[in-house]
Each structure stands twice: as C-alpha cells, then as structure tokens.
Structure 1
Amino acid sequence: MTTRILFLVFCLIGVQACSSMPQQQTGQSDSGQMGNLVLAEPAAVNIRSQMALARLTDILAQVEVPDNQKAEFLYQRGVLYDSVGLSGMAQYDFSRAIRLNPNMAEAHNFMGIHYTLQMDFIQAYDEFDATLEIDPEHDFAFLNRGIALYYGGRPELAVEDLGKFFNKDKSDPYRALWTYIAQKELNSKSALKNLRASREQLDDRNWATAVVDFYLGDINESQLLSTLMLGVTNQKQLTDKLCEAYFYLGKYHIDKGENGIASNYFKLALSTNVYEFVEHRYARLELELMRERTYGDMAAD
C-alpha cells in the first residue's frame, strides 16, 4: 500500500517548460544603467506540483502510516511547498517531519535555510550542525551553513565551510563564486587572486563560468548578459539563468556602492519566481539588509 502511494505521489511531480522566448531589449551601454537587459518571463506555478500537494495532503489526512513514513510524506510536501513559494507552510512541514524522525538530514538542512532567511542565525547554525552530524558528507549543508555564517557576520567560518564545498567540485563556478563572496569580506585582493586561480579549473560548458569571468573583469556586463541566450531552448532554461545572473549582478553592484542598480537586480531575481534557487532565496534577504542599512544610516544622521 505504502509503495503504491509513493509511486502515485512521485508520478505527479514534474516540471513542464514553455517554449516561448522573450525579446532582448536594447538600451544604453554597460555604464551602470542596466543596458541591454534581458527580461525573464516569471516561472509559472507547476500544475503537477499543485496536484502532488493535494494528493499528499489527502494521504496525510486519510491514510494511517508509520511515523517514519509520515515524516517522509511531510518532508516531500515541504519540498513542494518550498518550490512554489509557500515558505511558511514548508517550514511547518519540515519541523513536523523532524519531530517524527529527528534523523532526517535533509529536513534539518531546509530548516536551516529558512532560519537563515529569517536572520535567526543561531537556530540556522544548529540545524546545519544537526544535518552534518547525521550526514557528515552532506555537500549542501556546507554551502548553506557557509552562507548563513556569511550573512551572520562570521566570514572566517564562512570561508572554511564554503572552501570545503568548493573543494568537493572545483569545476563548479557557483562554488567558486560563493567562496569568493565570503573571502572578499576578509581581503578583497586576495579573494580576487584566489578566484583567478580557481578559474583555470572551472567548466567552460557551465554558463555561470561567464559570471566568474565578469567578476574577474575579463568580460563586461553586456557580454555577460549576451551569454544568457547561448544554448537556451526553452523559456524555463532562460528564466533559471536570469535568476542566477540577476543575483550575482546585484552582488557585484552593491560592492561598487551602486545600491539602486543592485536593488533593481535583486528585485529582478525575485521576479523570476524560481523559488528553489539559492539566488532567489537570498535576493530577498539582500533587499532586507539593504533596507536595514538605509534606515540605520538615516537614524545615525
């Protein structure tokens, strides 16, 4: 019975992509005015995800299953809630899953992410620590704890975790980028030198390697945005790329003190609706931190 239920649930989960492509806008040159901007079509909420959510809710309400199995259903529903932007409901399901089965590493990892987004960093560290106690080789717990430490103002520890994450796959540009983001809080020149060294090992087939090239100054902003269209065959691929690009461009401009441009890029990342991406999650946190700094400066004046 349980096997059949799981089969039905997982058959409901899938992603459909549209085939339409947006037009690339023309604009001013790469001078901080967001010229040549490519706009995303916001990702639609997947009907199959909604059906799977309904089915899981029915199962949890009507079918008696052992606690471990119920915890798994709650975790799976939490992942689905998370993927459609219902973060509060996702967090509630993850916490219930952990109460039923405290050894669910993935549920602890998701709880850590949600605590980070709420800037409840002590709770976030505890959840990521729990993840790694259960599964010491959990790659993304190192990423997520490193990000939490970065936003929590502990860059030395963040570099340690993100360095471990990068060392597990030195061909991954995203791992190189997050390591650089944390390292530059300690020493920007050294961080850039390390990013240059890391560039030699990155996979050129991964489009995000172009973001590394942009950070290194080897290409400009217009050239980076032009690479977004390469190899794209459907709207979902483009929207996913744009979510990532907007976030890293926002990080670049905020470091330059160009807060208005950075804010616009973070908002564009949010407009993609790619809720499950790291870049989408932390674009909102970046905006919250920008507002805090602004209000803090006003109060100081």
Structure 2
Amino acid sequence: MKWFSVLIAGLVLIMSGCSSMGGKDKEWAPPPMAVPLQPSIQQEVQIARASQLLLRSDITEEQRAELHLQRGVYYDSLGLRELARYDFNQSLSINPAQAEIFNLLGVYFTQIGQYDAAYEAFDSTLELDPGNQYAERNRAIALYYGDRIDLALDDMTKHYEDDPSDPFSAMWLYIIEMKSDQQDALAKLEQRYAKRDQQWGWALVAMMLNKISNDEVILDIASGAKDNVMLAQRLTETYFYMAKRYQLAGEYNEAVSLYKLSLSFNVYEYVEHRYAFLELGRIFSEVRAERQEQLKEESEKE
C-alpha cells in the first residue's frame, strides 16, 4: 500500500532528525506513530450477525454459548469491555467449562484492579486447561500488580522456564524480580538476553538493558512492519515497555507520556494496552502519596 510506504519513509526521516536526550537514548519530535486502529467492516458485520442469530429460538444452547463468546471477543477487540463481559458471563451461564473466557475475564479484572477476582478467574482457566500458557503468565502479572511478589515470581519463573526463548516472559520475569533485588534482576536478564534467538521481541529486552537506543528499536519496528496493523501492535508493545523502563528508573514524566502513546493506537486486545491504564493509575497514586508526604514534612518544619 502506497500510504504505508510513505508512513514508513516518514518514520525514517523523523528518526534521522532526532536530538540527543542524554546517554544512549534519544527522543523524537513528533514520536513515530501508526494510524490508530479503527473498527473494521468484518468486526461490525460479525457483531450484527451474532446479535441476529441470538434472537432466534431454534438455536441450541451450545450454539447460543458460542455466539455469546464470539460476540464478546469482537466487543473486547473494540474496547467495549462491559459489553464483552456481559457476553462472556452469558456464555459461561450456559457452559461453565470454558477456559478461554475465564482467562479473558482474569485480564479484565486485573486491568480494573480487582485482583482476587482475577486470581480466581485464572485459577479456573488452569483447572480446565492446565497447560494454558497465557493464563499462567497473566496470573503472574496479576499477582505482581496485586503486590503478591513471591507468588508472582514463582508463577513467572515457571512460565519462563517452560519457554526460555520467549522475550516477553524474560522481560516480565525481570520486572517482577526488580521488586526484590534490582542488581540481581539486571544480571539475570543479561544472562537470558545472551541466549536470545531471532524473535523481534528481544530488541525490547535490549532496550530495557540500555544496549540499544529508543531510536534503534523504533527503526527496527519500522523496517519490519508489513502493514499499519502490525506497526500499531508493535508500537503498542514498544511504548509500554519503554515506559516501564523509565518508570522503574523513577522518571515518571517520561513514563506517563509513553504509556499514553501505547494507548493511542487502539490495540485493545493487547495486554500492554490494557495494563497501560493500570500503570498510569499507579503512577498517579505514587506521585500523589509522595506529594502528600512532602506537604506533611513541610508543615512539620513550620
């Protein structure tokens, strides 16, 4: 597509005009962007089709459960969380043995900070499907956000050991380990990175380790993205983990800006998009608590 080629060329020009930020990192103005994803005709047609079929009285209960699941997945992909959750619950009321739905609900509960409900949902997924890798990782992340670090570390360590070639497992294990021992976490991530394969996600690990600059990561994405959808997906992931790196370093202004960029592409089904909202709320709470502590100390000095 010509417009996509122009977009990629524009990214290269933007990156070539970057100004130094300090160290190996650089910033760009404006930041590299993809066209935000919009509802597709297929999504709208499938939602309308499922809605029409659900009005029929001659479908079986099994078909009704499947239609609620399908419509819920489409709603979820459009960011319509409450409508999706309604459909998922309707599907479960007919057929409770659906591991996929419990996993989706677990991610939803994590996103809104209802951690106990998230743990129960992921436990249900793993009871129904013990080998579900997504639920294993998602439960570890929920435990991390719920400040149950020891349990999160156990879950994520097992998940990483099941597939050491997965860069995202390596990165989340590092993020969780950072809660306990930052230097040890960094050393372990270096060891995992040394065993990397050719998956593009290892570039994000290299960025987390400050082995490559922000510019280099973005250029790698720009050169490898086949279309705007892939570009939006990879930028959603990249800006999230870039923001997490700044957040771990205590650089909240940069982290907030990058989390907002991660949200801007409308890649609703990616956990990085979902958890960017959660991270923004946590940063706000941390900054507010620090500010209140400062005001308290200032008042005591007066």
Q: Give the equivalent residue in structure 2 for 1:130.
A: 124
| TM value normalised by structure 2 | 0.89
Is the counterpart of residue 225 in structure 1 residue 218 in structure 2?
A: yes
Equivalents in 1 of 2:6, 2:252: separation in Å? 30
Q: Alignment partner of 1:62: what SS? A: coil
Q: Note if 1:116 corresponds to 2:110.
A: yes
Structure with greater helix percent:
2
Does residue 72 (structure 1) correspond to residue 66 (structure 2)? The answer is yes
For residues 40-79 of structure 1, the aligned pairs below 5 Å read 40-79=34-73
Q: CA deviation at 1:240?
A: 1.2
* One-letter amino acid of the structure 2 residue matched with residue 241 of structure 1: R
Structure-2 residue corresponding to 1:144: 138
SS in 1 for 2:197: coil
Larger Rg: 2
Correspondent of 1:27 among 14, 18, 42: 18
What are the ranges of 5 or more consecutive residues in structure 2 without an aligned counterpart? 296-302
Question: How far apart are residue 136 of structure 1 and its match?
Answer: 0.7
Rate the CA distance shift 1:64–1:298 in 2: closer, same or farther, 3 A: farther
Q: How far apart in 2 are the matches of 1:233 and 1:134?
A: 36
- Displacement of 1:27 after TM fit? 3.1
Structure 1 residue 105 and structure 2 residue 99: aligned?
yes
2:170 corresponds to which residue?
A: 176
Q: Is 2:86 the partner of 1:92?
A: yes
Q: Distance in 2 between matches of 1:279 and 1:77?
A: 22
Is contact 1:156–1:186 with CA below 8 Å preserved after alignment? Answer: no
Structure 1 unpaired stretches of 5+: 1-15
Deviation at 1:117, TM superposition (A): 0.8
After superposition, give the CA deviation of every residue in 1:222-266 in whole Å (9 maximum; x if it has no partner): 222221222223212211111110000000011111111100100
Q: Partners of 1:199 and 1:33 in 2: how far apart?
A: 22
CA distance in 1, matches of 2:77, 2:56: 24
Deviation at 1:167, TM superposition (A): 2.0
For 1:175, give the aligned amino acid.
S
Equivalents in 1 of 2:59, 2:99: separation in Å? 21
> What is the rounded CA distance, in whole Å, between the counterparts of 2:67 and 2:259 in structure 1?
33
Q: Does 1:165 align with 2:156?
A: no
Is 2:187 the counterpart of 1:193?
yes
Report if aligned partners of 2:262, 2:276 keep a CA contact under 8 Å in 1: yes
1:214 to 207, 214, 221: 207
Q: Partners of 1:19 and 1:54 in 2: how far apart?
A: 30
Q: What is the Cα-based RMSD across aligned positions, in Å?
A: 1.8
TM-score by length of 1: 0.89
Deviation of the 1:55 alpha carbon = 0.4
> Deviation of residue 41 (structure 1)?
1.5
Q: Once the 2 structures are TM-superposed, how far is the Cα of residue 173 of structure 1 from its aligned partner? A: 0.8
Q: Which of 250, 253, 259 in structure 2 is aligned with 1:260?
A: 253
Aligned residues: 284
Which digits, 9 at most, give the CA deviation of each residue in 1:59-78, with x for residues without a partner?
A: 11124333232212111111
Give yes or no for contact 2:208–2:241 (8 Å, CA) kept in 1: no
